[in-house]
Amino acid sequence: MIAKEEIKTYFESLQDRICAALEKADGRANFHEDLWQRAGGGGGRSRVVQEGEVIEKGGVMFSAVWGDLHEKMLQSMGLKEKVDFFATGVSIVIHPRSPRVPIIHMNVRYFEMSNGEFWFGGGIDLTPHYIVEEDARWFHQQLKAVCDKHDESYYPHFKKWADDYFFNTHRNETRGIGGIFFDYQKVNPTRTKDQLFAFVKDIGEIFAPIYTHFMAKNQALPYGEAEKTFQLLRRGRYVEFNLVHDRGTKFGLETNGRTESILMSMPPLAQWVYDYQAVEGSEEAKTLALLKKGIDWL
Amino acid sequence: MIAKEEIKTYFESLQDRICAALEKADGRANFHEDLWQRAGGGGGRSRVVQEGEVIEKGGVMFSAVWGDLHEKMLQSMGLKEKVDFFATGVSIVIHPRSPRVPIIHMNVRYFEMSNGEFWFGGGIDLTPHYIVEEDARWFHQQLKAVCDKHDESYYPHFKKWADDYFFNTHRNETRGIGGIFFDYQKVNPTRTKDQLFAFVKDIGEIFAPIYTHFMAKNQALPYGEAEKTFQLLRRGRYVEFNLVHDRGTKFGLETNGRTESILMSMPPLAQWVYDYQAVEGSEEAKTLALLKKGIDWL
């Protein structure tokens, strides 16, 4: 069976490949690296771009942490006795300069406990400032193709999971056009650890081709002040989702995680206007009308 | 004993007086009013300024809501049976244009339940983008003077409460220079409802003189790009506090409150820089060093 060290090593190499691909596609971006240690065990390698050509602010974070499982986590899992844990993963959020290029988020992770339980989680989801249905279809097609290679039930299941997860309940709108999200993927009679890991690797590897596609295709599209303002408002909603609803962010902040690494997901600049209303029939109104669960983008 | 209608009427008139005082001090600001109804009972009068002369974005909100107490609130109070509630209050957040003028927050509120329990809560706290110790002293002196009129134990008690409450644990820093914060102020052998209400009224009435003092005194002070950037970063921390820690905001968003009224506290524009570090010895570094609990500003 695959050892945790192998998964950790793979995630580290994935971070390297993704950073290299993003730097190349950006042309100017240079990831700044911070190595950090966690008091309770393990640490991470945070890589952040600020002021790239296409990427205004983005982070590609690797971490591998271990130690006593936090009290809050024991509670949430209904565990009564202390256990040790090991967790490793890669987490990405990219805020592009142009409102024509979408915000993207990717995460792949592996979690194991000293009681013998282990599972994988992850996903990729897209938050276009302006939704272009053609782009949305292409994005979901890529995800479905990767999912189908492993299990045809994955895409419909994980697509719905993303719709439900990336939802700003207090705004009654999705964060973007979703994608796939999955957690607690465990070994079972029809699924080996090798197979689960192979799926997670494929998700990790599809990230760079997907995002560099949008970087190349959309970065030169024209936009003006109105589009820039709408981008800042959409980023405000991104902030709201991450700080109010995102479990990973909340859990990280509550359990004394590395704040700068967790909040690398914050946009470079965001705006709030009281009671913003899009002009009827505008491009903005069209996007807002598409921020709904259950849309079949394919 | 004072009836809830009297408290509600007072809060409504307080909103009127504060809006008038702020409009006069600003010179250009015009509060835009939205009346809203709550499905379960009651409603509110939201008043918001955007693009004033001194005030870049600010809200002075009044509400009076009633009905079945929400499941989450019953739980948090350890109540097993359904009760009706009535809640009314005024809530203010002002984001000024100049980084030399502080952000301010004020809240006064009254809560009553059909089981006969009732209490007052409230407070005023200040978040200067740049801390000026002279201004901080003056601000705390005003609060202490109002508190001392009612009970000399109030200021030290409520000042500490504000330090503890307005604390960004994940940043290990206070939101600003605090002020006073209090909740669950109930009738007891040494305190009548009249006395509690008189104190809350005095807190409400001191808000406009305090803030218009800072508007008049600091609005013309010079600043440049560097100060504007630091202001945007401090506003980012304000967003973090309100969305991650503020109980009122979290509770409002979880219980289907009016999102636009709750999130009027969001700044017009905010910025995040990965791992921002102030230059040693700079004005910014001085401010950051003062974002600590337990400072005696008097």
Report pLDDT digits (tens) over B276-288.
Answer: 999 999 999 999 9
pLDDT at B79: 87
- Count A/B contacts: CB-CB distance under 8 Å: 77
pLDDT at B255: 81
Q: Which residues in chain B (130-189) have CB-CB distances under 8 A to chain A?
A: 169-171
d(CA A58, CA A105): 10
Residue A105 a catalytic site member: yes
Confirm or reject contact between B232 and chain A (CB < 8 A): yes
pLDDT by position in tens, chain B (length 298): 899 999 999 999 999 999 999 999 999 999 999 999 999 999 999 999 999 999 999 999 999 999 998 888 888 888 888 999 999 999 999 999 999 999 999 999 999 999 999 999 999 999 999 999 999 999 999 999 999 999 999 999 999 999 999 999 999 999 999 999 999 999 999 999 999 999 999 999 999 999 999 999 999 999 999 999 999 999 999 999 999 999 999 888 988 889 999 999 999 999 999 999 999 999 999 999 999 999 999 9
Which residue from B minimizes the CA distance to A232?
A: B269
Produce one character per residue of A177-187: b if its CB has 16 or more CB atoms within 10 Å, e if not: bbbbbbbebeb
Which residue from B minimizes the CA distance to A59?
A: B274
Produce one character per residue of A56-70: b if its CB has 16 or more CB atoms within 10 Å, e if not: bbbbbbbbbbbeebb
d(CA A15, CA A98): 24
Instruction: Answer for the pair A45, A73: CB distance below 8 angstroms, yes or no.
Output: no
Correct CATH for B4-289 of 3.40.1500.10, 3.40.50.720, 3.40.720.10, 3.40.50.800 = 3.40.1500.10
d(CA A255, CA B146): 39
> Pick the catalytic residue: B32, B70, B95, B105?
B105
Tokens of A95: 């805020």
From start to end of chain B, where are the E strands?
Answer: 32-37, 42-50, 55-68, 84-96, 103-113, 118-127, 167-168, 173-174, 178-185, 269-271
Q: In a 3-state reduction of DSSP, which class is residue B63?
A: strand
Whether this model's pTM surpasses 0.90: yes
Helix, strand, coil content of chain B in percent (nearest 5) = 45, 25, 30
Residue of B48, B234, B275, B276 to mutate for A, most A C-beta atoms under 10 A: B275
Which residue from B minimizes the CA distance to A260?
A: B275
- Chain A partners within 8 Å of B233 (Cβ): none
pLDDT by position in tens, chain A (length 298): 899 999 999 999 999 999 999 999 999 999 999 999 999 999 999 999 999 999 999 999 999 999 998 888 888 888 888 999 999 999 999 999 999 999 999 999 999 999 999 999 999 999 999 999 999 999 999 999 999 999 999 999 999 999 999 999 999 999 999 999 999 999 999 999 999 999 999 999 999 999 999 999 999 999 999 999 999 999 999 999 999 999 999 888 988 889 999 999 999 999 999 999 999 999 999 999 999 999 999 9
Give the residue among B22, B11, B165 at the shortest CA–CA distance from B95.
B22
Do B269 and A268 make contact, defined as CB atoms within 8 angstroms?
Answer: no
| Shortest alpha-carbon distance between residue B71 and chain A (Å) | 17
d(CA A26, CA A51): 10
> Pick the catalytic residue: A32, A70, A95, A105?
A105
d(CA B274, CA B29): 34
What residues does each domain of chain B span?
Answer: 4-289
